[in-house]
Chains A and B, each alone.
Chain A
Amino acid sequence: MSELLKVPTMAEYMAQGKQPDVLFWVGCAGSFDDRAKKITKAFVKLLNKAHVDFAVLGTEESCTGDPAKRAGNEFLFQMQAVTNIEVLNAYEVKKIVTACPHCFNTIKNEYPELGGNYEVMHHTQFLKSLLDEGKLTIEGGKFKGKRITFHDPCYLGRANNVYEAPRDLIKKLDAELVEMKNCKSKGLCCGAGGAQMFKDAEKGDKEVNVARTEQAIEVKPDIIAAGCPFCNTMMTDGVKAKDKEADVEVMDIAELIANAQDL
């Protein structure tokens, strides 16, 4: 199936003297993490299906610098940012979509001051717009009657006030959207942000991802929907820690929609 994926690069477009409508910023997790790569592919399938004219940077993409900045290394962050901005500006990129809320936040909010001005969308917003424009349709059915709860990624929700796009998509699946006791602006973090993903937690009496997973399990979902590759890892680990792998699945919104399409 994967040989059917069409993933053109900006360099290829450039060689043909063309400009895609939108750049898909894959991100480090989406490029290298085994779980996140599945999300990347699911999203690309949807882009292909909707005939979106997009390209990726491929080997010219580099970390946005988000984890370095949140760890306090402003130097490294700005080096990464300036390098990326040079590449993006050289390709005259106008619009970017990404499946990672950290990349989304950094490029959207922190790049402009360093000379990178783009229209940036999270993949849930982008998919929503494809649906609204009729370029993509969702046939429910597959998820009918399933209970799905959405875990708000901090960098999409609180950080950028995007709460509805992912929920609108879940509702389109004919599924039952159930909310955790902490949701939207009061959503509890998965524990990965602020560079915590890359270190052991400080001393405490519990892991944050376990606490969040417990909140999710409380509402008895069949699926925990995520919109961030890091949240996805954290929640998956949380489900394992709670021995609930048989009952609860953690899936990205893009995967849900791709699955509904049998892609």
Chain B
Amino acid sequence: MSIIPNILFAIILIAGIGYFAKNVKKLIRNINLGRDVDVSDNTSQRWKNMARIALGQSKMVHRPIAGFLHIIVYVGFVIINIEVLEIIIDGLFGTLRIFSGLGVVYGCLIGAFEILASLVFVAVIIFWIRRNVIKLQRFWKPEMKGWPKNDGNIILYFEMVLMTLFLVMNATDVHFQAMNSGNVISQFIAPLFSGLSEGTLHIIERAAWWIHIIGILTFLNYLYFSKHLHILLAFPNTYYGSVKPKGELDNLEAVTKEVMMMMDPNADPFAPPAENESGEEEVAKFGASDVQDLNWVQLLNAYTCTECGRCTSECPANQTGKKLSPRKIMMDTRDRLEEVGKNIDANNGVFNDDGKQLFGDYITNEELWACTSCNACVEACPVSINPLSIIIDMRRYLVMEQSAAPVELNNMMTNIENNGAPWPYNQMDRLNWKDE
């Protein structure tokens, strides 16, 4: 027996995993471009969130049809991957169905895989119909043109092909069919190939086997470029997601320092600003105009976004025709982060100012000022993403760095400063209601 196939397999496997690892490194580097944020608190609550939301898919079932179908695909995906282990061992050592020695257990396993594969196939077809025939509104928003739209469909085609290959591979495996254990679905596909000689069948079986494993490796490498990255990142993302009440916005520490100084009667107003180790003046930038100003959890959020649009479909601004779409906020953040990452790659590891930024080139004023901070997007997200936090950070930049709030809001803020209320009433009149 020739060992060429084994060597070929090993090369493909190493190349596939190697390229994936390279992109994972890039992913981690890009996420680390974000500001640091302390997420070391509440570890047990965080583990629970991850188990419940990512592993248990608890948020998905809020939309029962999509949720149910998604669970099928998810469970199918996870379990069928046990089969990949067998494929890898067979491929490397030239064995044939190494686990088949398990007998009945093997039959049960493969039987379960076959059933799951068929269910996944059906679910994926329904997903495709929802996207392309029923045209569910949330998949047809302006930000879902071009790549995002194709991406959604490509994934579905991938799944269809992989599941078909898996079933065909089993159906054309003469020995496996002869075992007649576990071929619950493939026995009905086998007759399709009944006229063929054993040699031809073997070729089909081998072809299906090879394309299947190459398909899986391709899929793995496709993830980095796709919204499908969520199958991996949903886990860390739900772990690092907020454990505070949704209404709580973070207090900017840099601002606290300045406010405390201003309020402290003993502080020397002419004291030089604090210096960092390198002796440079530390100028804290308030808020975010670009991805590097966001914290790394927000950047992880962007890579995790599944582009499902649950956030956007619940958003009151979007529902009433405003330009704001929380999904677009996440997609823009990811696109810009990728752009910055590529810039760094092209310039030997340092970012070369490209005259662009997240604010203005991706996200506009009009979007930012349409938000009511209602948290509907945060509540709706099945993977604990917080689009609102990015909107607020960008507003902070506009107001504190650019003094670019809408006029009416400037009036409101002047009133608060002068009268302690957002309207032009005198603070001394605050208790007048009592006697009115």
Contact = CB atoms under 8 A, between A and B. Distances in A.
Nearest to B368: A72
Nearest to B369: A202
Interface stretch (B122-130, B201-209, B425-433): B425-433
Given A158-B246, A158-B375, A72 B398 contact: yes
Given A72-B405, A195-B412, A211-B320, A78 B374 contact: no
A67 interface: yes
Contact of A31 (B260, B314, B395, B430): B430
A105 B249 CA distance: 10
A186 B319 CA distance: 14
Nearest to A192: B372
A205 interface: yes
B251 A74 contact: yes
Interface in A190-232: 191-208, 211-212
B3 interface: no
Interface stretch (A91-99, A107-115, A126-134): A107-115
Nearest to B408: A199
Interface string B350-362: 0000000000000
A74 B316 contact: no
Task: Pick the most buried of A69, A161, A195: most chain B CB atoms within 10 A of its CB.
Answer: A195
Interface stretch (A55-63, A140-148, A251-259): A55-63
Given A9-B431, A211-B316, A28 B421 contact: yes
A158 B244 CA distance: 12
Contacts of A201: 320, 322, 370
A68 interface: yes
A43 B244 CA distance: 30
A80 interface: yes
Given A195-B409, A203-B322, A74 B245 contact: no
A189 interface: yes
Given A58-B430, A160-B247, A199-B369, A189 B400 contact: no
Contacts of B39: none
B428 A73 contact: no
Interface string B144-158: 000000000000000
Contact of A204 (B244, B245, B317, B435): B317
Interface residues of A, number: 72
The residue among A28, A69, A70, A74 with the most chain B CB atoms within 10 A of its own CB is A74
Contacts of A89: none
B247 A159 contact: yes
A258 B263 CA distance: 42
A62 B321 CA distance: 35
A31 B366 contact: no
Nearest to B411: A198
A71 B405 contact: yes
B287 interface: yes
A158 B320 contact: no
A144 to B, nearest CB: 31
Contacts of A76: 413, 416-417
B251 A73 contact: no
Contacts of A203: 321-323, 366
A2 B435 CA distance: 7
A32 B320 contact: no
Contact of A161 (B245, B319, B321): B245
B259 interface: yes
Contacts of A121: none
A83 B262 CA distance: 12
Interface string B257-281: 0111011000000000000000000
B161 to A, nearest CB: 37
B430 A26 contact: yes
Contacts of B78: none
B193 interface: no
Interface string B310-327: 000010110111111000
Given A72-B400, A73-B400, A201-B370, A62 B316 contact: no
Interface in B320-337: 320-324
Given A72-B287, A202-B317, A208-B320, A63 B370 contact: no
Nearest to B319: A211
9 contacts: A31-B432, A70-B395, A108-B245, A110-B251, A154-B247, A159-B247, A161-B245, A194-B372, A203-B366
Interface of B: 244-249, 251-252, 255-256, 258-260, 262-263, 286-287, 314, 316-317, 319-324, 366, 369-376, 378-379, 392, 394-400, 405-406, 408-409, 411-413, 416-417, 420-423, 425, 427-436
Given A72-B394, A76-B417, 10 more contacts: A59-B429, A67-B413, A74-B396, A76-B413, A78-B255, A82-B259, A155-B247, A199-B406, A203-B366, A212-B316
Interface of A: 2-3, 5, 7, 9, 26, 28, 30-33, 37, 40-41, 56, 58-59, 61-63, 65, 67-76, 78-80, 82-83, 105, 108-110, 113-114, 154-155, 158-161, 185-186, 188-189, 191-208, 211-212
| 6 closest A-B pairs by CB | A159-B247, A72-B395, A194-B373, A62-B420, A205-B321, A189-B374
